[in-house]
Amino acid sequence: MSDMRTFPEAASARPDAEAPAAPLSAGPRGRRTGAAPLSNDSRIAVDIRGLVERGEMDEARDRFGELVALHQRRASRIAYQYLRDAGEADEAVQDAFVKVFTHLTSYRETWPFEVWFTRILINGCLDRRKARTRRDRWFVPGEPSSADEARLAATDAAPDPERRLLARERRARLAAAVERLDGRQRAVFTLCHYGDCTPREVSAMTGLNESTVRVHLFRAARKLRGLLGGKP
Amino acid sequence: MITRARHLHDDRLVDCYLAERHGEALDPPVAEHLSDCESCGARYLALSQFMDALRDEADAETDALFTPERLRAQQQQIARRLAGVGRPARVISFPRRIVRRTITASTSRMAPRWVAATAAAGLFVGVALGAGYEWGARVRTGWQGFAATSGITRPPRVTPIPTRVAAPPDVADDAFLSELEIALERPHTRELQAFDAFTPHVREISDQSR
């Protein structure tokens, strides 16, 4: 199982890379077809790009806050599923937003902003995973953050300590099962299932063929069911 | 002859699940089969429940970790990091005095001179200190040598240990010799006892002489 495998076109997922030549066709949730209007986030991104190009940086920064608010929660969820550390996920999300802002002039509206942003985010997460593996080779691997544990315990809805413990064990089991997925399977599963992306969008983000995305997703689901005994 | 449609493969079920989740319409024959075939319907239901449970669990976990406060803090942090983007970089002048001066041929030669002067001063101070230390050591040893040759003695620093009163020689000798004998009688000197037998004892000689 290769954790560190990146996607074949991973290099093109860099923020300064060109958008794919063919525009993405419509998604069911208002994604754009060829001449369909831009989605809300893409429109904001285009506006900000204009502001940056005109040198109105303060205005651009203010508008960028809207984009952050739109994508922040979903981005944090994806990053956390990749990294399994809230602090590191937080940093990865911040880095992705900063990178997006600094490279916004290279954004092309032929590509939905969500897809462009998510590519940047997952590449950052993959880089962090690589760095962590390198670190763990030389140092004792770190334990999960105790602050995260405390936060989970504090916000756990179950009042019963036994239930809380069971929930924690279930989460650990689930995380371990997802961790055992092949690198691509995990990426596809995370994006589709936790990132609310359609296979078409995942295909655009990862550079994989759409049918390949579906196959990876199916295999991931089958493997998870096998590992978790049919129930999470 | 009526032929039943084949059961749906798992990958089709996953496709159906995805389509349903994203609000897409199911393929009509597949939708029909799912409603007609009890087995496939049950499999689809199990798959949907499993996937939904996975998602709910993950959502609950991330919602617990990324609280609204934390997300707000994250927004502020991003805004802080973006505050410097696009602003011209500030050049810190260092060292200020040298930067203020116009660089001429004489000032450009100033730095090596200062470096050389500082190095020379350091060397001089080092040598002087070393020589002084060595001279001090010589003076101390020279004083001791001079004192030894001239007979001048310094007063002793420690208080003298009171000397014991000397015992009469014969008693002392006796004690010493008896200690020797006791030592010879110990087991580890047993192999020397043969030689001891041939040797006249001091005690016997002293008794005879008395």
Query: pLDDT at residue B139 above 60?
Result: yes
Give percent above pLDDT 70 in chain B. 65
Residue A199 to residues A114, A124, A216, B17, B166: CA-CA distances in angstroms?
14, 21, 10, 12, 111
Residues of the domain holding A68: 1-143
Give me the CATH number covering residue A82: 1.10.1740.10
Give me the CATH number covering residue A185: 1.10.10.10
Helices A86-102 and B68-82, packing angle to 10 deg:
40
Q: What is the pLDDT of residue A74?
A: 92
* Shortest CA distance from A146: residue in chain B: B65
- How far apart CA A207 and CA A10 sit, in angstroms, is 7
B66 CB neighbours in chain A (<8 A) are 73, 76-77, 80, 86
Q: Around Cβ A104, how many Cβ atoms within 10 Å?
A: 22
Inspect the interface and report whether the beta carbons of A76 and B18 lie closer than 8 Å.
no
Within a domain: A23: yes
Query: pLDDT at residue A72 above 90?
Result: yes
- How far apart CA A6 and CA B137 sit, in angstroms, is 72
Q: What is the pLDDT of residue B77?
A: 93
Report the pLDDT averaged over residues B193-199: 76
Query: pLDDT at residue B149 above 80?
Result: no
Least confident stretch, A36-45, A194-203, B40-49? A36-45
- How far apart CA B147 and CA B152 sit, in angstroms, is 5
Q: pLDDT grade, residue A128 (50/70/90)? A: very high
Q: pLDDT grade, residue B187 (50/70/90)? A: low
Within a domain: A118: yes
Per-residue DSSP letters for B30-86? HHHHHHH-HHHHHHHHHHHHHHHHHHHHHHHHHHHHS-HHHHHHHHHHHHHHHTTTT
Q: What is the pLDDT of residue A27?
A: 39
Range with top average pLDDT, A136-145, A147-156, B199-208: B199-208
Domain identity same for A173 and A202: yes
Inspect the interface and report whether the beta carbons of A101 and B11 lie closer than 8 Å.
no
Give percent above pLDDT 90 in chain A. 29
Domain identity same for A109 and A180: no
Inspect the interface and report whether the beta carbons of A101 and B85 lie closer than 8 Å.
yes
Query: pLDDT at residue A122 above 70?
Result: yes
Tokens, residue B21: 């989740």
Q: What is the pLDDT of residue A31?
A: 45
Q: pLDDT grade, residue A87 (50/70/90)? A: very high
Within a domain: A222: yes
B151-181 pLDDT per residue, tens: 555 555 544 555 444 555 566 777 887 787 7
**B170 vs A221, residue with greater confidence:** A221
Inspect the interface and report whether the beta carbons of A151 and B64 lie closer than 8 Å.
yes
Query: pLDDT at residue A3 above 70?
Result: no
Q: What is the pLDDT of residue B3?
A: 47
CA angle in degrees (0–180, nearest 5) for B17-B19-B21 = 70
Going by the DSSP 8-state scheme, the letter that residue A106 receives in this structure is: G
Tokens, residue A140: 């004792």
* Shortest CA distance from A52: residue in chain B: B86
B78 CB neighbours in chain A (<8 A) are 68, 94, 97-98
Q: What is the pLDDT of residue A40?
A: 85
Enter the ipTM.
0.75
Give the domain-ending residue among A143, A174, A195: A143
Domain identity same for A169 and A139: no
Q: What is the pLDDT of residue A151?
A: 63
Domain identity same for A32 and A132: yes
Q: What is the pLDDT of residue A95?
A: 95
Count contacts between A and B (CB, < 8 Å).
117
Going by the DSSP 8-state scheme, the letter that residue A11 receives in this structure is: G
* pTM, full prediction: 0.61
Residue with tokens 């989740």: B21
The letter for the amino acid at A191 is L
Going by the DSSP 8-state scheme, the letter that residue A191 receives in this structure is: I
- How far apart CA A133 and CA A19 sit, in angstroms, is 30
Give the domain-ending residue among A143, A173, A207: A143
B55 CB neighbours in chain A (<8 A) are 193-194
**Measured between CA atoms, how close is A43 to chain B, in angstroms?**
20
Main-chain dihedrals φ then ψ at residue A77, nearest 5 degrees: -65, -45
